[in-house]
Amino acid sequence: MSSERAEEGRPAVVLVSGGLDSAVTLAIARARGFRAHALSFDYGQRHRVELEAAARVAQALGAARHVVLRIDLRAFGGSALTDDLEVPKGRAEAELASGIPITYVPARNTIFLSFALGWAEVLGARDLFLGVNALDYSGYPDCRPEFVLAFERLANLATKAGVEGHALRVHAPLIDWTKARIIREGVDLGVDFAATISCYDPDPTGGACGGCDACALRRRGFAEAGLADPTRYAST
């Protein structure tokens, strides 16, 4: 996991949001020997401090390069993460796994993976890594295994490499892991979770609200893993 290895290995593109899940995903890609190209998006999200976290994570885990692409999802609107709608707080745990939440961003993972695919094609990379999780975010259509498989199939039809028979793979190693397992695996791989931020509605200094869905899932994960949560919460 040392950064000296950043220039070695086969290239891969890893989507890195600055959150806990994508940090562990990047650590896994590095542990599997890939030369990781970290990709983040400045998409008009409310929680832009996550981009600073993404840069910290990419650096700490030895990414060969980190690119932040600016795209304007606000042009379409439609989500509490990009609009001025209120982020829901203090929802019961049963609510977390039901329905499509207001924080869902239309076609977000499809858009992010499409750019990752473009970069992979330029790099000659055949591996994309994505930190989606179907357990915690069952309400998001684009966090499900069938979505990941459908994108992999598309990638192999959409690209030069795929057409020429070099199979592209979309890796989603966390897809069926509990948050507690994600955290434990991350600790084993040397991920410093203090560098990550999960909150949908952080304060300007990166302090987590403690009450949104993402904070709730993170806190429960650390509790279930039996590990101390290094997050700085505004409320407890």
CA trace torsion 180, 90, 103, 75 (10° rounding)? -140
Pick between residue 172 and residue 208 the one whose CB is nearest to a copy of itself: 172
Rule CB under 8 A: choose which of 84, 92, 146, 205 binds a copy of itself. Answer: 146
| Shortest Å distance, C-beta 147 to a copy of itself | 5
Specify the stretch interacting with a copy of itself by CB under 8 A; choose among 26-34, 47-55, 65-73, 85-93: 65-73
| Shortest Å distance, C-beta 105 to a copy of itself | 8
Residue 128: which residues within 8 A CB-CB, separation 6 or more?
Answer: 12, 13, 14, 15, 113, 116, 117, 120, 155, 168, 169, 170, 171
The answer to whether 67 contacts a copy of itself (rule: CB under 8 A) is yes
Pick between residue 34 and residue 222 the one whose CB is nearest to a copy of itself: 34
**Angstrom distance (rounded) from CA 64 to CA 102:** 35
Rule CB under 8 A: choose which of 32, 89, 144, 232 binds a copy of itself. Answer: 144
The answer to whether 110 contacts a copy of itself (rule: CB under 8 A) is yes
Helices (H) and strands (E) in the chain, counts: 8, 5
Rule CB under 8 A: choose which of 2, 4, 75, 226 binds a copy of itself. Answer: 75
The answer to whether 135 contacts a copy of itself (rule: CB under 8 A) is no
- The 150-179 contact track toward a copy of itself, x by CB under 8 A, reads xx-xxx-xxxx-xx----------------
Specify the stretch interacting with a copy of itself by CB under 8 A; choose among 16-24, 148-156, 184-192, 223-231: 148-156
E strands of 27-166, at which residues?
Answer: 35-42, 65-70, 127-129
E strands of 43-159, at which residues?
Answer: 65-70, 127-129
Query: Can you give the length of the chain in residues?
Result: 236
> How many residues form the binding site for a copy of itself (CB under 8 A)?
43
The answer to whether 109 contacts a copy of itself (rule: CB under 8 A) is yes
Extract the tokens encoding 183. Answer: 């955290």
The answer to whether 66 contacts a copy of itself (rule: CB under 8 A) is no
Q: Which of 21, 179, 17, 213 is nearest to 102 (CA)?
A: 213
Strand partners, 212: 89
Task: Report how far Cα 158 is from the mean position of its chain's Cα atoms.
Answer: 23
- Which residues of the chain form contacts with a copy of itself (CB under 8 A)? 67, 69-73, 75-78, 100, 104-111, 113-115, 117-119, 121-122, 141-142, 144, 146-147, 150-151, 153-155, 157-160, 162-163
